A and B are shown apart, each in its own frame.
Chain A
Amino acid sequence: MHELAMAMSMVRLMEQAAEGAHARHVNRARLSIGELSCLDPRALESAFEVAAEGTVAEGCVLEVRRIPALLRCRACGNAHGGPLLSPCPRCGDPGAEVLGGREFWIESLDVDVPDPATPLGGSAI
């Protein structure tokens, strides 16, 4: 529902990371998005295209890894998958704690950095 705001946060993070690495462009971003997060990856991709225009992340390819929901049954401690309120496969209780599946991370970026053989702005002699 708020993919554009999220995309703008992503672009900001990428700009910061690129600056830190003296990178000219971000080509690819590896994201982890949990199954339980309220985000649609396709909508996020569209929003990202818009948000990244004119920035160092323009044209960056998004590679999304979906992290499955990991729940722990409150009644018997069994770890199982989502969605929330799904009955525990071992004892049938719907109550569970969320251990995983809410992630929304940038794991790594592929960036263009200046060739080390060429001094910044100068030419090799």
Chain B
Amino acid sequence: MTDRIAVEKGILDANDRAAADLRERLRGGRVYLLNLMSGAGAGKTSLLVQTLVRLRGRWRLGAVAGDLETRRDEERLRAAGVPVTQINTHGDCHLEAEAVAGALEEIRWRNLDAVVVENVGNLVCPAEFDIGETDRAMLLSVAEGHDKPAKYPLMFAESRALVLNKIDLLPYTDFDEEAALRDVRALNPAIEVFRTSVRTGEGVDRWCAWVDGRIRAARG
């Protein structure tokens, strides 16, 4: 015979639970976790290398790189001289809490002050998945267009910080900074905005100072 059973469960509940569990453990260990997101090619790895190099003297840092394939980001991040591991999703367009928790174990997160997770390059899906992070930050490069906040609102709405990268390319693009930031602030009035060029170094110090402050706040 047929029976109707009430389920009333969110399909992402399993990930949410894993993320909450990880968040709890990170808090207990006073380790700061930054979830760094962006579309593909916005400059996450480059910015992260600079960030790790500048802050590794003050904090015990680690990094986790997420990509569908290759260990190229891991190699680049390793050059910053911190423990790094790579997650290859082989098709999954985002990272989830369970995989991140496993990667953190690999780099022995309990001996660290802060870890940055470089999420899969994708403006859509990573925003939907809690990975237990303390903060979410994202990059948008000026070459991607000022209409991206409107087209991909969730990631902008959920990030604590936005790094507007590749500003050295502004003269070669039609990027309308005012329009982009207007949309960003409508989605997320409290978001902190950093203008950077990792190539020239402009603005990178200010971004690193923010990360430094967030690590300090997390460690009480």
Contacts and interface: CB of A to CB of B under 8 A. Distances in A.
A2 B92 contact: yes
Contact of A1 (B125, B183, B186): B125
Interface size class on chain B is 20 to 34
Interface stretch (B4-12, B72-80, B100-108, B138-146): B4-12
15 contacts: A1-B124, A1-B125, A13-B13, A23-B5, A84-B157, A85-B150, A85-B183, A93-B186, A104-B10, A105-B10, A106-B8, A107-B8, A110-B4, A112-B1, A113-B2
B6 A107 contact: yes
B69 interface: no
Contacts of A93: 186
A74 B189 contact: yes
Interface residues of A, number: 38
Contacts of A85: 149-150, 153, 183, 186-187
Contacts of A94: 183, 186
Interface in A87-109: 93-96, 98, 103-109
Given A1-B124, A38-B154, A13 B183 contact: no
A55 interface: no
A20 B185 CA distance: 47
A9 B92 CA distance: 14
Interface of B: 1-15, 92-94, 122, 124-125, 128, 149-150, 153-154, 157, 183, 185-187, 189
A12 B13 CA distance: 12
A98 B156 CA distance: 13
Most-contacted residue by chain B among A23, A27, A109 (CB, 10 A): A109
A9 B11 contact: yes
A86 to B, nearest CB: 10
Contacts of B8: 105-108
A6 B11 contact: yes
A57 interface: no
Given A104-B11, A107-B6, A98 B128 contact: no
A76 interface: no
A26 to B, nearest CB: 9
A84 B156 CA distance: 11
A90 to B, nearest CB: 16
Given A21-B3, A74-B189, A109-B5, A104 B12 contact: yes
A79 interface: no
Contacts of B124: 1, 38
Nearest to B127: A38
A38 B128 contact: yes
B141 to A, nearest CB: 21
B125 A2 contact: yes
